Structure 1
Amino acid sequence: MTIDNSRGAASGVRTALVIGGGVAGPVTALALRRAGIEATVFEAYPAAADGVGAWLGLAPNGQEALRTIGADAALHAMGEPTPAMVMADGAGSHLASFDGFAELPATLVLTRAQLFRALTDHAASEGIPFAYGKRLVTAEETPDGVTAHFADGTSATADILIGADGIRSTVRSVIDPGAPAPEYGGVLSFGGYAAPDCGVDAAPGTMYFAFGRAFIGYWQDRDRGLIWFAGLPTDTPQTPAEVAQTPAADWLARLRDLYADHFPGKQLLHHTGPEHLMAVGPMERMPSVPHWHRGRMVLVGDAVHAPSSSSGQGASLAIESAVELARCLRDLPTPTEAFAAYEALRRPRVEMIGLHAAAANKVKAGKAQAGPTFPDPEEMLRPLHFHRIDWAEPVTAPA
């Protein structure tokens, strides 16, 4: 299959192969469409990944990036607006609180599956084509573009190829066989639903974070009661499949032992049954990736800058990067220049956020102590949440 279209961008790019149909893939295709580039999304799995993944927060900056490409309407009917946060220690002592920025929309708390479905449905309604059962094996540049070869024996050719295929990206290894692998954060992640009578108070619209010998976060969901997420420190990483081999009751027993002296972890876990435990898997992040692009191939989202869930920014950063990549391809004369400008615009921000998340991971894993004073949430969140991409502003080549 060869994608062709009479429109194009300043870079001369008219068509794109987007590898990966998660969150970053549909947004990248939508942003490229607005930049005058037609894209097809290729997903390895035979069907859309409904029901896969845990909860996440879509921060105001991520929502604004979606608004830039007209995709924010897809989120209006879902997600729990959660503007406020409260931070405490494991004994219940208050450390800090934050009521949100009055000028910004509230962070939306929703499942990854909800976000994925909303974005995929919106992209499909806009005419973005999706091809399922297309697991990338390799890709090669041709005189006229780049050709992707899939495990089912088919191939596709377009002007550029974009790797939106997640933290275990195949495209990343095609661009650079020596690229780093995901970095384990020393924690296995779990979540669950606690019974409403668990004795833990939580105001609607507020996210709570309780630190101590172990960390637990929780909030009040309008439909499911109290939802919590927590970590089990361990030096031995396990894949999600390996985690799933251990019975939920065994994991819950280990978590209850870890949080036996923790408030409110003890109460939340005591009132959670094995049937309501979600074993997410290892907490991971991408270390600095030396090569974001090569020739006509480039990376976006978790494939190049997964910051780990400690950042609260994974989905939002992926959406921002998709929009910036489309702007660069729209305005600069060649894919090489566009990719270089995109990396220059994005690398400092995503690596700063990733390093802060890595430090938080060490605290959660018991490998470092929290600082003597807790950071001011408003000061910490302002550079994250107020970040804006001006779609109308022309992109210039980096010095």
Structure 2
Amino acid sequence: MSTTSPSVSAKSPAPSTSNVPKVVVIGAGPVGLATAYGLKKQGFNVTVYDRVDLGEAIRKAQAEGTPVNIQFGETQGGAISMYTNGMTALRNLGLEEAVLAAPHCDVKEFLLMNMDGSDPIAHFNNKNTTSFQYLRGDIHGPIMRSCGTAGIKVFVGKKLIGLEETGEGVTVRFEDGTVQKADFVIGADGIHSTTRKLLFPDVPKPEFWSIGYIGVFERGLEVPGYAGLPSKLEFGSDMAVYGDNVNGNMVFCGNCSDKYGSWMVLERTAQSDDTSSTAEDRDAWRPTSDLPKESKRLAVAVEGWGIPKHIVDCIRHSSRITPLTIYDLPDMNKYHKGRVLLVGDAAHGTIPTIGQGLCSGLEDAVVLSDLFAEFGAKDYETVFKLFYKARAPRIEKVYKNARLVADRMKNGTPFKAKVGRVIMRTVFSMLSFFGVADELTDYDYKPDLQKVIAAHKKQK
């Protein structure tokens, strides 16, 4: 389930003496790496830095000044949804083949059910929709290795503390004393982005939305069932959400490959009570250290919600559980300042109700790459300006719908909950009956980008 990533190093690179424009990407998640890969295609010298501390091995390597092979991000998180728009972005970046070669599940139907499994509403019933489920590492790993093959270096244990722009570039400072100079900086460091805080200290902070837990289990594993009879861990459908539409609690279930399934429990009725550390540290995707205790507690909790027993079993016998807190970032009126640009969750992080976090970030990566291909590094001001014009309307539309779905999943009264389900069933049934593609997920970024570019050239 995990592999080593040869592109990751602990030794900081020497400053470039080349005339090739240099880009520093902050954040080595899938979006940061995909962005780096797209910029490398356009001829940039790209280096990626991430704040994650990988422990004693990396610290020793840093002290010795030697590179080290390490595992990075491939044993973290749970299911990732990849829809048509995300795969289109990967294809145009040149990363689709690598990602499709990784283990995944091809999902033909997405079921939305009451918490007890009743009243299923089907979505994705048209031939135009691409929907895959992956474990996070099975997307992160191939993109990381592709970056390594392309010559992109990734440095970890580098916590950003400062950005200083001059007329010719940006000086980037890290907590460990590392200083790098770059022509441009791309902030892909997530919902609690340090890049965003340094760039726009007065913008609204991310808003708490829900406590959550992500788990992974081995499909087909035999576990004790009723009356001592063995039971095999399976969801029963490749992709489903069990929801309590009165108070908003929900459980997402997705098969990620022939071997693994993943679930996400959202406790909308709970509030975060962890004030012992910063939000960034709380939400660092660290698996729980007491798996037996946490799996039992969550299994008992969801069993009390009335969810079917086979889902309870999958949670109770998880091989990994990761707690997280989910936030929603208010819409921003710009994504860049000078030579620094935000992408992915750093620019527009939101709630996971329509599974568009990663796919939207991948759209960012390919749009930025295409804009630099069109205008070149010298005209970066145009690139960054048009990036916002191309992305903001799309992002605001997608995330408005994510928030709308969230509202429908927490109606407050049984009557409103029933009305919400009627509306949802009607919308999805019409999409299915007429074979209409869902414009939120079955989306190609190119037509919108070409319109923005054409409008800009016409103005000039």
Report the CA distance shift for 1:187/1:309 in structure 2 as closer, same or farther (over 3 A).
same
Where does 1:234-383 land on structure 2 (aligned, <5 Å)?
234-237=269-272, 238=274, 239-240=282-283, 244=288, 249=293, 252-253=296-297, 256-260=300-304, 262-264=306-308, 266-270=309-313, 272-273=315-316, 276=319, 278-332=321-375, 334-362=379-407, 364=409, 369-370=416-417, 371=420, 372-375=422-425, 376-377=427-428, 378=431, 382-383=438-439
Quick check: 1:67 aligned with 2:91? yes
Q: Does 1:390 align with 2:403?
A: no
Shift in Å at residue 35 of structure 1? 2.6
Structure-2 residue corresponding to 1:3? 16
Change (3 A) 1:150 1:225: closer
Residue by residue over 1:159-206, the C-alpha shift from the partner in whole angstroms, topping out at 9 and shown as x without a partner, is 111101111111101111112222211332343538662697624xx3
Aligned to 2:158: 134
1:4 and 1:348 mapped to 2: Cα distance? Answer: 39
8 Å CA contact retained: 2:112, 2:120: yes
Identify the match of residue 15 of structure 1 among 15, 22, 28: 22
Q: 1:33 aligns with which of 28, 32, 40?
A: 40
Letter aligned with residue 241 of structure 2:
F
- Counterpart residue identity of residue 383, structure 2: A
Contact map agreement 2:287 2:320 (CA 8 A) in 1: no
Q: Residue 229 in 1 paired to residue 249 in 2?
A: no
The equivalent residue for 1:11 is none
Contact 2:302 2:312 in 1 (8 A): no
- Greater alpha carbon shift after TM alignment, 309-318 vs 191-200: 191-200
Give the conservation status (yes or no) of the 8 Å contact 1:53–1:280.
no
* Structure 2 CA distance for aligned equivalents of residues 381 and 351 of structure 1: 19
AA of the residue aligned to 1:72: E
Which of residues 202, 210, 216 is equivalent to 2:236?
Answer: 202
- After superposition, the C-alpha distances for 1:272-310 in whole angstroms (9 at most, x for unaligned) are 436546133112222212331111111001111122222
TM-score (norm 2): 0.75
CA pair 387-248 structure 1, distance change in 2 beyond 3 A:
same
The TM-score, its normalising length taken from structure 1, stands at: 0.85
Instruction: Tell me by how many angstroms 1:149 deviates.
Output: 0.8
User: Percent identity, aligned pairs only?
Assistant: 23
Aligned equivalents of 2:269, 2:398: Cα separation in 1: 24
What is the distance in 2 between the residues matched to 1:143 and 1:164?
Answer: 23
Unmatched runs of 5 consecutive residues or more in structure 1: 8-13
Give the direction of change, closer, same or farther, for the CA distance of 1:356–1:381 in structure 2 (3 Å limit): farther
Match of 1:177 in 2: 201
SS in 2 for 1:109: strand
Q: Secondary structure at the match of 2:453?
A: coil
1:218 corresponds to which of 225, 237, 253: 253
Q: 2:177 corresponds to which letter in structure 1?
A: G
Cα offset, 1:383, TM superposition: 0.7
The answer as to whether partners of 2:85 and 2:444 remain within 8 angstroms in 1 is yes
Q: State the AA in 1 paired with 2:333.
A: P
Residues 51-107 of structure 1 show CA distances to partners (whole Å, capped at 9, x for unaligned) of 122221111211110110211111122222113212222343334213554245x32
